[in-house]
Amino acid sequence: DAMVIQNPRYQVTQFGKPVTLSCSQTLNHNVMYWYQQKSSQAPKLLFHYYDKDFNNEADTPDNFQSRRPNTSFCFLDIRSPGLGDAAMYLCATSRDRGVYNEQFFGPGTRLTVL
């Protein structure tokens, strides 16, 4: 089945230790998104790629970076995680950026910062 895969599902890191989260998709979609979701809150968009074009949300901290080496894969790098970065990180894809485009979500990676 075509899908969005996130690895690992659970990630524990230490305060200040860089961490990378991975997302892959078999849908061949043009757009890939990264969201941060804290407990009992709505997902918050960090950035998205439209093909190779990177689009950063204005309030996304510089601590968060992303890479998309090819259509299928996208990575979220947190350079120096703080306690406030503990959250669920969701990857999503859509065929295009049209107003009616459905986003398909992965299962998420829950990040714990010690």
Residues at the contact surface with other proteins, assessed by CB under 8 A:
4, 6, 40-43, 45, 48, 55, 88, 90, 92, 97-108, 110
- Of 75 and 79, nearer to other proteins (C-beta) is 75
Per-residue tokens: 27: 């849908």
To other proteins, the closest distance from the beta carbon of 38 in angstroms equals: 11
- Of 9 and 17, nearer to other proteins (C-beta) is 9
**Contact between 71 and 28 (Cβ < 8 Å):** yes
To other proteins, the closest distance from the beta carbon of 90 in angstroms equals: 6
- Of 4 and 74, nearer to other proteins (C-beta) is 4
Residue in this structure with the two tokens 């299962």, named with its chain if needed = 107
CB neighbours of residue 104 within 10 Å = 17
Q: Report which of 5, 24, 104 is spatially closest to residue 72, judged by C-alpha positions.
A: 24
